[in-house]
């Protein structure tokens, strides 16, 4: 494994996506440990798993302020996965916290909404709301303070994100970059095989949930996948299995054999930019 210099000027705040929380199990797998090993100062967003953007950002603002106070830093570098990237943008623009944020790196964030979610949200509302209440109950037991699964689903549609993008333009003083990923086939990740097939039927190739066009935002760095026949799923992007994706050597810069190295490269590049 390559050794990266991740000792950035500003600490790194990791913001998770929907459905999981920061805790003992750890949403980010080996990633925080490896970034710390390479010199990064790492903090976590600690927002609800299924909270709305508005509710979660109240927590994120406190997490940001805590990280700044503990590190004595003037700013933070944010790395956000999935819905967490939308929340980070809301934090920067609507909550006017851009002055405390040096950079925002989004990993498979649905900046343009999900066309698959557009289909899902058209199901009978009574069924969706009933199912959402079940999720809210269990997320509440798990630790969510304000779970609102149905609102989360609404906030991932293309119509909502079109309005969101108009209301939350990029801050010119924050460095933005975005990344997309894709599975090579349904067997790339057995846990994501069913949603992958559904998304492919409705749209095109994806990471099991989102297609590349949906995650493109400022300074889009491209679409990454795994080495050999192995792709990278939405779960793989945050090291859910806590092990390398493959032993095969990457054939080009858009192939990854171990997701921790991908994050090491991101953070080392932020260091090189003086961030």
Reference 82, options 26, 9, 152, 24; nearest CA is 152
The per-residue pLDDT of the chain, averaged, comes to 91
Q: What is the mean pLDDT of residues 90-98?
A: 97
Reference 240, options 199, 192, 273, 168; nearest CA is 192
Residue 25: per-residue pLDDT: 73
Whether the predicted pLDDT of 203 surpasses 90: no
12-110+161-272 CATH, one of 3.40.50.1820, 2.70.170.10, 3.30.497.10, 3.40.190.10? 3.40.50.1820
Whether the predicted pLDDT of 202 surpasses 60: no
What's the pTM? 0.93
- The pLDDT-based confidence of 209 (bands split at 50, 70, 90) is confident
- Choice among 1-5, 198-202, 262-266 with the minimum mean pLDDT: 198-202
Q: What is the pLDDT of residues 136-155, one digit of tens each?
A: 898 899 888 999 999 999 99
By CB atoms closer than 10 A (0-12, 13-18, 19+), residue 11 is: buried
Q: What is the mean pLDDT of residues 62-72?
A: 96
Residue 116: per-residue pLDDT: 86
- Choice among 102-116, 122-136, 145-159, 168-182 with the minimum mean pLDDT: 122-136
Whether the predicted pLDDT of 190 surpasses 80: no
Q: What is the pLDDT of residues 41-53, one digit of tens each?
A: 999 999 999 999 9
- The pLDDT-based confidence of 241 (bands split at 50, 70, 90) is confident
Within 10 angstroms of residue 272's Cβ, the number of other Cβ atoms is 10
Q: What is the mean pLDDT of residues 58-68?
A: 96
Domain ranges of the chain: 12-110+161-272
């Amino acid at each position: 494994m390559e050794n990266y210099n991740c000792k950035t000027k500003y600490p790194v705040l990791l913001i998770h996506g929907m459905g999981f929380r920061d805790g003992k199990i750890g949403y980010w797998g080996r990633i925080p440990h490896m970034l710390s090993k390479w010199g990064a100062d790492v903090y976590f967003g600690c927002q609800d798993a299924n909270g709305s953007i508005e509710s979660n950002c109240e927590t994120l603002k406190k997490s940001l302020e805590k990280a700044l106070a503990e590190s004595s830093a003037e700013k933070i570098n944010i790395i956000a996965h999935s819905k967490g990237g939308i929340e980070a943008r809301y934090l920067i623009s609507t909550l006017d916290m851009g002055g405390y944020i040096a950079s925002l790196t989004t990993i498979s964030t649905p900046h343009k909404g999900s066309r698959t979610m557009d289909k899902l949200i058209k199901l009978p509302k009574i069924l969706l709301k009933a199912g959402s209440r079940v999720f809210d109950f269990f997320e509440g037991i798990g630790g969510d303070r304000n779970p609102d699964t149905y609102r989360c689903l609404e906030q991932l549609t293309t119509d909502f994100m079109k309005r969101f993008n108009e209301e939350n333009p990029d801050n010119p003083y924050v460095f933005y970059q975005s990344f997309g990923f894709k599975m090579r086939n349904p067997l790339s990740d057995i846990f994501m095989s069913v949603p992958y097939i559904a998304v492919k039927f409705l749209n095109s190739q994806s990471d099991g949930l989102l297609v590349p066009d949906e995650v493109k935002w400022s300074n889009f760095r491209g679409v990454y996948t795994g080495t050999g026949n192995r792709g990278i799923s939405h779960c793989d992007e945050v090291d859910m299995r806590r092990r390398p994706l493959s032993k095969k050597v990457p054939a080009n810069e858009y192939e990854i054999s171990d997701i921790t190295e991908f994050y090491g490269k991101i953070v080392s590049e932020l260091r090189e930019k003086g961030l």
